[in-house]
Structure 1
Amino acid sequence: MPIVHVSMCAGQSKTYRAAVLDGLYLALRDALKVPEDDRFMTITEHAPENFRFGSAFGVERSINVLYITISVFNTRTAQQKAALFQRIAEVLTENPGIRPEDLFVTVHDLPKENWSVGYGRPFA
């Protein structure tokens, strides 16, 4: 049950944003085997004056960089996360055509007791 949040500079089309969310869902299904209809995702757009990026780690990013944050149960292996990173790059470079240099992805591992997925009850 990953939760995905994407931060991006404002100005992309509705079709582009849909392709980002659909592509991330596909990558999660392929790499982490998330269940069908497990789509807990948001996009936040920022005005250019409120959006910064750099070339840290030798990566030349553009104004089209996506900051992708994924929260997952802490049961995922390093290999699964590496496969997810790779699959995200494959899918999103194909559609909607994002440069792989513009994909900045972080995964936050959280124990299940830190989740409540409904009714105010802890996930068990």
Structure 2
Amino acid sequence: MPLIHISLRAGKPEAYRQAIFDGLYRAMRETLNVPEDDQFMTISEHDAANFRYSASCYGVSRSEDVVYIQITVFNTRTTEQKKALFRRTAELLGKNPGIRPENVFVNVLESAKENWSVGHGLAQFA
């Protein structure tokens, strides 16, 4: 039950943004065993004045095309699954829409199952 927020610089075409959605969904299906049709994602676009990044922090050379991806998931994933997710996400987004691996910035937030309600005011996973 991932919930994904993606932030990037404004101005990319719709096909580029849709490719990010598709690549992330595929990476999660392959590495985190996310169920079919479990897609809850948003993209926020920011103008240059409202988007900041470090071009060389932690030994990674980024450009203004950096994409921030924050994924909130149940706290049931292993470290190996998360590492596989990071690799596969960078690989797939590199192929389509052509994002350099250095510009794929991913953060996974873990949450207990009882902290989720996916509709009807119910705690479906508690």
TM-score between the two structures when normalised by the length of structure 1: 0.98
- Displacement of 1:58 in angstroms is 1.1
Query: For 1:34 and 1:82, how far apart are their aligned partners in 2?
Result: 15
Query: For 2:113 and 2:77, how far apart are their aligned partners in 1?
Result: 12
Structure 1 partner of 2:75: 74
Structure 2 partner of 1:42: 42
Structure 2 partner of 1:110: 111
Letter in 1 for 2:95: E
- Runs of 4 or more above 3 Å deviation: none
Question: Does residue 1:90 correspond to 2:94, yes or no?
Answer: no
- Displacement of 1:28 in angstroms is 0.5
SS in structure 1 at match of 2:38 = coil
Structure 2 partner of 1:63: 64
- Displacement of 1:120 in angstroms is 1.1
Query: For 1:116 and 1:56, how far apart are their aligned partners in 2?
Result: 37
Structure 2 partner of 1:26: 26
Structure 2 residue runs without a partner (length 5+):
none
- Displacement of 1:117 in angstroms is 1.0
Letter in 2 for 1:9: R
Query: For 2:76 and 2:50, how far apart are their aligned partners in 1?
Result: 35
SS in structure 1 at match of 2:39 = coil
- Displacement of 1:71 in angstroms is 0.3
TM-score between the two structures when normalised by the length of structure 2: 0.96
* Aligned residues between the structures: 124
Letter in 2 for 1:101: E
